[in-house]
Each structure stands twice: as C-alpha cells, then as structure tokens.
Structure 1
Amino acid sequence: MFDHFVWSVVVVPPLFVLVAYLCAGRLDPWRGAVVLAWSAAGAAFASTANLLVFALKAIAELPAVAGLFDWSHHTVALDTGHVPWVSWLSLVLLAGAVAAAGRVWWRHRRVLRAAGELAGLPSHEGVLVLADAAPLAYAVPGRPGVVVVTTGMRAALTAEQYAALLAHERAHLAGRHHRLIRLAAMSGAAHPALRWVARQVDYLVERAADERAAVEVGSRRTVARAIGAAALAVGDSAGRPGAPVPVASAVARAGDVPRRVGALLRPAGTLRARYLAILPAALAVGSIIWTGEAVYDLHELLRAARVTAR
C-alpha cells in the first residue's frame, strides 16, 4: 500500500504544480481557472483520501481495535512493516489537512456573511456606493449579487475607468468566481504544495473578469488604466481602516497588477492551447483512480487479517 501514499500524497501534488505552471499561461483565463481549480480539488481529494486510508490502517493496527473486529493486528502492521511510521504520520497529516480546510471554509463563509449584510442596503442598478474614504470595490455574491464601491474608489477613477471597474465586478458575479476561489483555497489548505495553484486561480479569475470587462466597455486599454488607477489608490491608502476584505475583489495582489495590465495591453489572443487542459485534469483523475485502489487494498488487507486471526 505504501506506493499509493507515495504517488498521491508525495508525488502528484508537486507534479501538479509543475503541470499547472506549464498550462496556466497558455489557456484562456476562464478555462484555466476552472480547470486548475477543479483539478486541484481532485488532487487534494485524492491526497486526503489516501491519508484517511492510512489513518484507518493505523487505527486497525491497535490490538484493542483488532480484538474488537476479530482480525490480526500483526498482519495489518506487516503490510507497511518496512515503513512503520507512514500510518501514524498519515493520521497526523489528515488531522492537519481537515483542520486547515475547515478554517478556509469558515473564513470564506465569514467574509461572505459580513459582506452580504451590505447586500440588503438600497442600491442603484446593483451598485451600492458607501461613504468611505478607503478606496475599495468588490462583488458580493447573492441572488441578486451587488457591487460595492466606496466613495474613495469612485473619486480615484475617471468615468470611463469607473465603468470598467463596474464591468469587472459584474463579471465576478456572473461567473460566480468566489466559488472557484474557495475551491482552490481549500485544495491548497488540504495540501501545502497546491497553495501556489490556489494563487494562480486567484490571478486567472481576475484575468477572466478583466477580459469580460474589456469586451463590455469595448476597450482593453481602458480596463488596463482602471486596474492601474485602482491599484495606485489602494496603495496610497494602505493602512487605513476599511470594509472587510472581499472574497473576489476588483484589485488583486499588487504583484499581479503589472501582469494583468500587461496582458490587457497586448492584443486579445486568438490561438489557445486548449488541449493542455487535459494534463492537470488527467493527473487529478489518475490520482483519484489510484486512491480507489488504495481503498480496495485496505479492504483486502483487513479481510486477510481476519482470516489470519482464525
């Protein structure tokens, strides 16, 4: 069974990061975000499921448990006798992965609840303007969703840039981007190697919203200028108190802004390497299938241990 642990827990997640690095820049932003988020979730699921299998094996090795279910704990322990640490290490890693993923889920739900309280306030055509000097703009998912903009952000943008910002935020709402962000973040919490993939999904989601906004306003350059102006406004106001950090905001991390602006100042790509989307998906599916075999192997091991005990 040890080979299942090595492949799904040790090998696949870092390999997935390499595949994601090769694919992300060559895929349409929206397709890339969807493929990487769901494939990372598949890889994280396989890794966590393998940890669960080995954690159950650790529990099955206990004499008291073996006596309760009438199987030989020696037979169970012997399967990974050359690496006796793997089962108990898996139990510790499983607890850490579940706790980390739970914290991410709770944090996202808390932010959505805090931001969702604003959705009940009167808005004009789905836009809620708050009297706040801190320059902020973000999308609050819901039915319907609402775009929240502070007066500080409104004052930092021209009319054209403001229209581009609203188009960007509406793209977040229409694409339900917060779900992809949460899915990728939970995957990164479940396995540390996938955290880079989660950050890449964040960037691709912003890029997807940029491209949709460029189509809506009819100018890639205007959207690029809006991103730059909004980023400068946020940078100038760093340290001021403001609203809760949104799940899907208008402005990504400062390090991503130059990449986004540079992408918008280039002509829209016409040729996309769509076939590359197969690579991360295939890696995730393969790891899940291999995990299924680990579950089967554990079942067979316990059957053999029961026969040995008789």
Structure 2
Amino acid sequence: MFDHFVWSVVVVPPLIVVAMRLLADRLPPSTAAVIMAWSAAGVGAASLVNLTLFTLKAIAQVPAVGRTFGWSAQVVADDTAHVAWVPWLSAALLVIAVVSIGLRWRGHRKALDLSHVELPDGDRLVVLPDPTAQAFAVPGRPGHVVVTTGMRELLTDRQFDALLAHEHAHLAAGHHRLVLLAELAAATHPALWWVARHVDYLVERAADEQAAVEIGSRRTVAHAIGTAALATTGNRDTRPGLHVAAPGGVVPRRVAQLLRPRTPVRWPALRALPVSLALASLVWTGEAIYDFFELLNAARPGR
C-alpha cells in the first residue's frame, strides 16, 4: 500500500501545483478558476482518503484490535514493515487535516452569518452609512452587494456601475463556492495552499472581465479597481465577502491585465493536465481502498 501513499500524498499535490502554475495565466480566468479549484479538490480528497486508510491500518495492526475482529495484526503490520512509521504519521496528519478543514468551514459559515443583511424583496444592493470605503459581494439566496457611503463617494457614476457589475459577476458565477472548494483542498494538504490563493486571484480576474464586458470599457473597470484598492489600503475593518479590492498585492496585476490583456492560449492539453493528475490520484486511491480490504482478508486465519 505504500506506493499509494507516495503517489497521492507525496507526489501528486506538489506536482499539480507545478502544472497549475503553467496553466493559470494561459487560460481565461473563469475557466482556470474552475479547473484549479476542482482539480485541487480531487487531489485533496485523494490525499485525505489515503491518510484515512493508513490510519485505519495503524489501528488494524494493534494486536488487541486484531484479536477483536479476527485477523492477524502482524500480517497487517508486515505489509508496510519497511516503513513502519507511515501509518502513525498518517494518523497525525489526518488529525491535522480534519481540524484544519473544520476550522475553515466554521470560518466560512461565520463569515456568511456576519455578512447577513435583511433585504427588501428584489433588492440586491445595500448601502451602509459608513465613512470607511468598502464594497463586497455576500453570497446567499439571494446574494447581495454591500457598498459603504465612503466607497460610493469616491467613485464616479461610471466607476460605481463598474464596481457593481464586478460584484454581481461574483454572485452570478457562484465564485464563493470555488473559493471555498480551493480553501478546503488547501486544508487537506499544505502543498495546495498556493492553489487556494491563486483561485482567489482568478475569480477576481473573472469578475473584472465580466464587468468590462457589461460596462463596455476596460479602462473604467481598471480605474474603479485602482480607486477602491487605494481607498481600502490599511483598512483593518474589512467585512467578510468577495471584495473588489482583494488583498494580497494582486490589484496591480489585475489592472495590468485589464489595460493590456493577454490573449489566452487555447491548448486542450493544458486544461487536461491538472484534471488528469487529479483523476489519476483518485483512481489510484480507489485501488488503495481495494488493497486495504484485501489485506484485511489475507490477514484472517485460513486465508
């Protein structure tokens, strides 16, 4: 079973990050975000299942457990005797991953609760009387956009329309789901942290592009993003949601892409690379599950 651990836990997660670094800026941002988030989720799930299997193996090779369920604990232990530390390391890593996933999910739910605002029927815009410049999308049924008076006063009418188009693009495309999916994947394996950060960037780029189409001016959207970013620099009172001026130093890159757009490279092989790695890891994990139960059967007396 050790080869499954090596492939799905050690090799594929960093390998898919390399593949995604080659892919991310060569596809339309909306497409790249979907591919990256779901591929990372597949790789994270495969890693988590493998950690679970080796944790179960660690439990199964305890003599008292073997006697209780009627198999030879020694036979189970001998399967990975040359790397006896792997099952116990897997158990520790599984606990860390589960706690990390739980914390991220709890943080997501808390953010949604904090952002909830009672809206009149059909109203999807909330203007808060607050001098702090903020604007963000809050997902839900229905989702809504929150803009403070401080932000509204900084923008021209055209820039304000661009900001609203950007935030409504987040809601229409369900970008919060992709962000959450990537964050949960990152919680399963530290190598996937970069993927989660880059999905954040890509959904902002996708919303920028959609806003530019709706407004009909890439320059107006770029100015709105730049103005919002300058206004929110150093603002520690940032509410939860999808922000037009996302943190992390990516605003200059987004503005550059709007003003000097790069033609995407439409190579099917590029799209297939991370997806293929994720599928291969999932298939290999299916074989690991089969091998684990075969090992338990082989460990029973008379087999």
**TM-score exceeds 0.5:** yes
Cα separation, partners in 2 of 1:271 and 1:302, compared to 1, 3 Å = closer
Contact 1:122-1:128 at 8 Å conserved across structures: no
Which residue is 1:234 aligned to? 232
Match of 2:81, SS state, is: coil
Cα separation, partners in 2 of 1:254 and 1:11, compared to 1, 3 Å = closer
Mapping of residues 264-303 of structure 1, within 5 Å? 264-267=258-261, 269=263, 271-303=265-297
Contact 2:27-2:265 at 8 Å conserved across structures: no
Which residue is 2:247 aligned to? 253
Across the aligned residues of Structure 1 and Structure 2, the Cα RMSD in angstroms comes to 1.5
Cα separation, partners in 2 of 1:162 and 1:71, compared to 1, 3 Å = same
Mapping of residues 1-310 of structure 1, within 5 Å? 1-116=1-116, 118=117, 120-122=118-120, 125-235=123-233, 238-239=235-236, 242=237, 244-246=239-241, 248-267=242-261, 269=263, 271-307=265-301
Superposition deviation, residue 252 in structure 1 = 1.3
Contact 2:4-2:284 at 8 Å conserved across structures: yes
Q: Note the residue ranges of structure 1 that are not aligned, 5 or more in a row.
A: none
- The number of residue pairs the alignment matches comes to 303
Match of 2:136, SS state, is: strand
Contact 2:135-2:147 at 8 Å conserved across structures: yes
Superposition deviation, residue 245 in structure 1 = 2.5
Q: Which amino acid aligns with 2:184?
A: M
Between 168-177 and 136-145, the greater mean CA deviation after superposition: 136-145
Match of 1:132, SS state, is: coil
Cα separation, partners in 2 of 1:303 and 1:183, compared to 1, 3 Å = same
Contact 1:123-1:129 at 8 Å conserved across structures: no
CA distance in 2, matches of 1:160, 1:244: 24
Between 296-305 and 38-47, the greater mean CA deviation after superposition: 296-305
Q: Which amino acid aligns with 1:56?
A: L
Q: What are the Cα deviations for residues 222-268 of structure 1, in whole angstroms up to 9, with x where unaligned?
A: 10111100000001x524xx35232x221112411011000000246
Q: State TM-score, norm by structure 2.
A: 0.96
